[in-house]
Amino acid sequence: MLIDTYGRVATDLRVSLTDRCNLRCTYCMPEEGLQWLAKPDLLTDDEIVRLITIAVTALGVTEVRFTGGEPLLRPGLVSIVERCAALEPRPRMSLTTNGIGLKRTAGALKAVGLDRVNVSLDTLRPDVFKTLTRRDRHKDVLEGLQAARDAGLTPVKVNAVLMPGLNEDEAPELLAWAVAHDYELRFIEQMPLDAQHGWKRDGMITAGDILESLRTRFTLTPEPDEARGSAPAERWIVDGGPHRVGVIASVTRPFCRACDRTRLTADGQVRTCLFAREETDLRAALRSDAPDEEIARIWKLAMWGKKAGSGLDDPSFLQPDRPMSAIGG
């Protein structure tokens, strides 16, 4: 069991499969990209599966989310999912993606055991998408979303970040579109994830701003607190149901007290929090032929030291030094 000194138990594993991405979102990385991890530094497919196996069979993990960078760029993704689906007990498995490659891969991923997907889409306007991502791939994302739904990777969740001067007025439009297409929309407050350290708390679009905008067009009824559990999103029933909309307010309404996550970076480091500055190296243990029991012990020790909160609610918070593309969302 991965328990910390505050009594929180981590059952949700986020696995970054690569630091690379085929978009250059303004809130994530500079236009020229980043210095990618060298291939020898990345975990191999076998190493990833071995760590997930230890997490599921020895440490109580019940849910695995594959992230990036962009996880669809990982050549061995389908095989990794298939091997993890064969584990006993079988974890629930999902994928967070920008959606560009989903039209091509959704069917194969469903066939080998992936349960559902989260797709990032911040705007319905192709010109705004191009400005935000520095790529002209809006149509590909929409087609990827449809392919995921058609393949049965449901519920298909759409993650949207609103930014001042770009798409801050799109919340009602995005929700109407999500309802029409039977996607579950979740707005995420912009967080300090950018390698160029351009994030500023002042002027960010907050959860309060988003809800105020949505209520100009929809009636929102909050779900009961017990329905949320450890989920990061607060959810509201839209116009009496059945559709819901979520808001992940990591900055203004931190949810650290209910956190049940542990994170594995693309180069084999355990992070107890997305914004942690400390990491614990599992890759070295793997490559020195440490037994599973020793790797599990190292992982448990890392999680025991998890801090009470992320620090995002502190106005003096400084962005992590390490680019987030290798850590995963």
pLDDT given at position 311: 61
CA proximity to 161, closest of 94, 250, 284, 238 = 250
pLDDT given at position 33: 60
Structure tokens at 18: 């690569």
Q: Which amino acid is at 19?
A: D
Strands of 116-120's sheet in order across: 220-222, 234-238, 244-248, 184-188, 157-160, 116-120, 92-97, 63-67, 12-16, 261-264, 269-271, 280-281
pTM more than 0.85: yes
pLDDT given at position 125: 97
Identify the H or E element spanning 213. helix 207-214
pLDDT given at position 199: 44
Supply φ then ψ for residue 54, to 5 degrees: -60, -45
Is 81:48 a contact under the CB 8 Å cutoff?
Answer: no
pLDDT given at position 24: 77
pLDDT given at position 22: 85
CA 282 to each of CA 1, 26, 81, 246: distance values in angstroms, whole numbers, following the listed order: 17, 31, 21, 34
CA proximity to 43, closest of 317, 285, 300, 316 = 285
Q: Mean pLDDT, 10 residues at a time, over the chain (329 residues)?
A: 95 95 76 75 97 98 95 97 98 96 97 97 96 92 97 97 92 98 93 51 81 97 76 90 91 82 96 86 97 98 88 52 54
What is the spatial distance between Cα 150 and Cα 276, in angstroms, rounded to a whole number?
Answer: 37
What is the spatial distance between Cα 14 and Cα 26, in angstroms, rounded to a whole number?
Answer: 23
